[in-house]
């Protein structure tokens, strides 16, 4: 704290009034954060604040006695506000750029005597450097923001484009129709389904189809936020709420979703304490940052998803019942792939094209490979299928992706009895007789291959001659036996 030593002079009754006024004026000039310069009517400096050195690059004692005309010529006052006041005979305000690279707003005021002559000019110079810097930073940030916004928009459009979603099955078509019907409302939606069925991608598509599509889609993976950080991440925090690097305050994810959509992925992982607060936000449509007192209105649409059984969690006391009802306005259950086999074919071709493009290949599936893919149960659903197709495109030899490129668990995943080849199903899938016969041949060969040790044994088992067996095994790339 600055102490005004001058005023510590004993103010006895004997002190002259003019002496006291001088003390006061000295204190004002010395301690003012604005730079003060006082000149006479000819522009000769009589007084100058000590901060002249930091603002104008010249200390006050070097200014005193000099003419402002001289100081302007040597660029110390550039331009001089006092000169303008002397010319215009009225209060003047100008901006100056000083030799110390400060931006200053100088206000000059004339003081007249009883005859209308200027006897003093007082100028106050307010340093705007910090504000100027802030303004420049702000402008730079605004430009960057505009750039990022357009990039985000482009990415969003790409990411959320419907070209990324394919389906064929009746069940998914129904879900898609439902999504389109509810998208324009603000109803909360919960997506349920096993891992990898497409909960995220459909939640994104719901946002894309909604009236909020131009606004943010904030995805929060509740399973990935440590419990201790949940509140501050979701609700944000005010400056000074925590010690350490992030002391500046930060908006929470809910605040970022304002006007847009908040997608709480894996909502079953939300700690109970946060569930209570989230419910409050949903009811009041207001948030208060951690450590803050002011609340802010927030308008967002909530989508949630989980592969857990929320109802069971409610019974076990792990999920709040009131929040469950609040969220559960519309529930969309995405069925696993094994319950919508048509989608396997469509998705396999979709991803084949995608990865052919990515790896600049031109591969295609052998009909039997497709059949194997359709017969598989896909515990990891679309995600697993997507990874599998990528692997097949990369690792299979030649242009045709043959069934033996599939991992071993595929070949054992289902009993290859001929009964499992339903003619109607094959017909529906547009198989030719030749393709069906090939499939039968492959299956029979594989079964023989598993049961026999040599190709001679296989020949006997299949009723073929041995060289025929070897040729067929080669043709279909089935593991060859020792002779
Ligand atoms: N119908 C579809 N068309 C195209 N790709 C899909 C489809 N469904 C899912 N996918 C893709 O499958 C992958 C898994 O989907 P997503 O992440 O949406 O699954 P999820 O149900 O959220 O899984 P988890 O429960 O593990 O989070 C993603 O790469 C997604 O793009
Ligand atoms: Mg997900």
pTM across the whole model? 0.61
Mean pLDDT of 393-421: 72
Give the span between the Cα atoms of 93 and 83, in whole angstroms: 12
Give the span between the Cα atoms of 298 and 218, in whole angstroms: 14
Tell me which CATH code domain 32-127 carries: 3.30.450.20
Ligand 1 proximity of 167 Cβ (cutoff 6 Å): yes
Closest to 234 in 3D by CA, of 304, 306, 194, 289: 289
Cis? peptide before 79, omega within 30° of 0 = yes
Ligand 1 proximity of 349 Cβ (cutoff 6 Å): no
Percent of the chain with pLDDT over 90: 48
Q: Based on C-alpha coordinates, what's the Rg of the chain?
A: 40
Pocket test for ligand 1, best of 382, 386, 388, 390 (most atoms within 8 A of CB): 382
Give the burial class of 30: count Cβ atoms within 10 A of its Cβ; 0-12 exposed, 13-18 middle, 19 or more buried.
Answer: middle
Axis crossing angle, helix 433-451 with helix 466-475, rounded to the nearest 10: 110
Q: Would you say the CATH fold of 338-475 matches that of 160-334?
A: no
Mean pLDDT of 392-409: 87
Q: How far is ligand 2, taken at its centre, from the CA of residue 201, in Å? A: 8
Closest to 346 in 3D by CA, of 360, 365, 368: 365
Ligand 1 proximity of 217 Cβ (cutoff 6 Å): no
Q: How far is ligand 1, taken at its centre, from the CA of residue 97, in Å? A: 59
Tell me which CATH code domain 160-334 carries: 3.40.50.300
Q: How far is ligand 2, taken at its centre, from the CA of residue 200, in Å? A: 5
At residue 316, the 3 state secondary structure works out as coil
CATH number for the 338-475 domain, one of 1.10.8.60, 3.90.180.10, 3.20.20.10, 2.60.40.10? 1.10.8.60
Give how far the C-alpha of residue 322 lies from the chain's centroid of Cα atoms, to the nearest Å. 29
Ligand 1 proximity of 386 Cβ (cutoff 6 Å): yes
Give the span between the Cα atoms of 350 and 340, in whole angstroms: 16
Please report, for residues 341, 366, 373, the alpha-carbon distance to residue 392 in angstroms, rounded to integers and kept in the order given.
20, 12, 12
Give the burial class of 369: count Cβ atoms within 10 A of its Cβ; 0-12 exposed, 13-18 middle, 19 or more buried.
Answer: buried
Pocket test for ligand 1, best of 165, 171, 192, 198 (most atoms within 8 A of CB): 198
Residues 41, 117 contacting (CB under 8 angstroms): yes
Give the span between the Cα atoms of 151 and 11, in whole angstroms: 69
Please report which confidence band the pLDDT of residue 426 belongs to, taking 50, 70 and 90 as the band edges: low
Residues 121, 78 contacting (CB under 8 angstroms): no
Instruction: Name the most confidently modeled range: 43-52, 127-136, 438-447, 468-477.
Output: 43-52
Tokens of 297: 């209105």
Residues 279, 264 contacting (CB under 8 angstroms): no
Residues 102, 127 contacting (CB under 8 angstroms): yes
At residue 190, the 3 state secondary structure works out as strand
Percent of the chain with pLDDT over 70: 89
Mean pLDDT of 434-458: 81
Residues 77, 68 contacting (CB under 8 angstroms): yes
Closest to 453 in 3D by CA, of 437, 441, 438, 469: 469
Which residues place a Cβ less than 5 A from the ion ligand 2?
199-200
Give the span between the Cα atoms of 250 and 235, in whole angstroms: 9
Res 408 pLDDT > 90: no
Q: How far is ligand 2, taken at its centre, from the CA of residue 199, in Å? A: 5
Protein residue whose Cα sits closest to atom 29 of ligand 1: 383
* DSSP 8-state secondary structure symbol assigned to residue 481: P
Mean pLDDT of 149-173: 79
Closest to 260 in 3D by CA, of 304, 187, 211: 211
Q: How far is ligand 2, taken at its centre, from the CA of residue 80, in Å? A: 67
Element housing 106 (H / E): strand 103-112
Burial 75-87 (b: 16+ CB within 10 A, else e): ebbbebbbbbbbe
Ligand 1 proximity of 193 Cβ (cutoff 6 Å): yes
94-149, pLDDT tens digit by residue? 998 888 888 899 999 999 999 999 999 999 999 888 888 888 888 888 888 888 88
Please report, for residues 306, 389, 437, the alpha-carbon distance to residue 259 in angstroms, rounded to integers and kept in the order given.
24, 38, 59
Q: How far is ligand 2, taken at its centre, from the CA of residue 133, in Å? A: 44
Lowest mean pLDDT among 47-56, 224-233, 450-459: 450-459
Instruction: Sketch the domain layout of the chain as residue ranges.
Output: 32-127, 160-334, 338-475
Element housing 108 (H / E): strand 103-112
Task: Map tokens 């017969």 to a residue.
Answer: 375
């Amino acid at each position: 704290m600055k102490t005004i030593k001058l005023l510590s002079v004993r103010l006895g009754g004997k002190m002259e009034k003019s002496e006291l006024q001088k003390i006061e004026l000295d204190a004002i000039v010395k301690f003012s954060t604005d730079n003060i310069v006082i000149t006479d009517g000819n522009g000769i400096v009589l007084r100058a604040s000590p901060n002249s050195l930091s603002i104008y690059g010249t200390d006050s004692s070097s200014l005193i006695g000099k003419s402002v005309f001289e100081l302007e010529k040597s660029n110390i006052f550039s331009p001089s506000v006092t000169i303008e006041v002397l010319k215009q005979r009225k209060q003047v305000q100008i901006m100056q750029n000083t030799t110390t690279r400060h931006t200053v707003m100088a206000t000059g005021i004339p003081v007249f005597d009883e005859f209308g002559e200027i006897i003093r000019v007082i100028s106050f110079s307010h340093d705007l450097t910090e504000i100027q810097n802030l303004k420049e930073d702000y402008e730079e940030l605004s430009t960057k923001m505009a750039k990022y916004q357009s990039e985000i928009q482009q990415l969003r459009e790409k990411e959320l484009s419907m070209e990324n979603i394919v389906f064929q099955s009746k069940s998914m078509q129904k879900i898609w129709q439902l999504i389109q019907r509810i998208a324009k409302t603000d109803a909360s939606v919960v997506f349920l389904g096993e891992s990898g069925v497409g909960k995220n991608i459909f939640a994104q598509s719901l946002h894309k189809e909604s009236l909020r599509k131009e606004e943010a889609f904030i995805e929060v993976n509740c399973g990935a936020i440590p419990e201790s950080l949940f509140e501050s991440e979701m609700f944000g925090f005010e400056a000074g709420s925590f010690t350490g690097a992030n002391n500046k305050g930060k908006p929470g994810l809910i605040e970022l979703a304002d006007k847009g959509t908040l997608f709480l992925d894996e909502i079953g992982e939300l700690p109970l304490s946060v569930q209570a607060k989230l419910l409050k936000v949903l009811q009041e449509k207001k948030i208060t940052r951690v450590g803050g007192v002011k609340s802010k209105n927030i308008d967002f649409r909530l989508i949630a998803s989980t592969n857990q059984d929320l109802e069971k969690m409610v019974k076990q006391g792990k999920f709040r019942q009131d929040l469950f009802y609040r969220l559960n306005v519309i529930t969309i259950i995405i069925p696993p792939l094994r319950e919508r086999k048509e989608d396997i074919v469509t998705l396999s071709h979709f991803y084949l094209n995608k990865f052919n493009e990515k790896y600049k290949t031109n591969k295609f599936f052998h009909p039997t490979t497709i059949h194997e893919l359709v017969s598989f149960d896909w515990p990891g659903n679309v995600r697993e299928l997507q990874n599998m197709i990528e692997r097949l495109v990369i690792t299979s030899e030649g242009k045709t992706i043959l069934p033996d490129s599939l991992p071993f668990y595929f070949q054992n995943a289902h009993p290859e009895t001929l009964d499992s080849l339903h003619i109607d199903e094959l017909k529906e899938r547009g198989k030719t007789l030749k393709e069906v016969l090939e499939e039968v041949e492959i299956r029979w060969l594989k079964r023989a291959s598993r049961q026999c040790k040599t190709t001679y044994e296989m020949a006997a088992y299949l009723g073929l001659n041995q060289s025929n067996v070897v040729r067929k095994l080669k043709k279909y790339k089935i593991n060859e036996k020792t002779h």
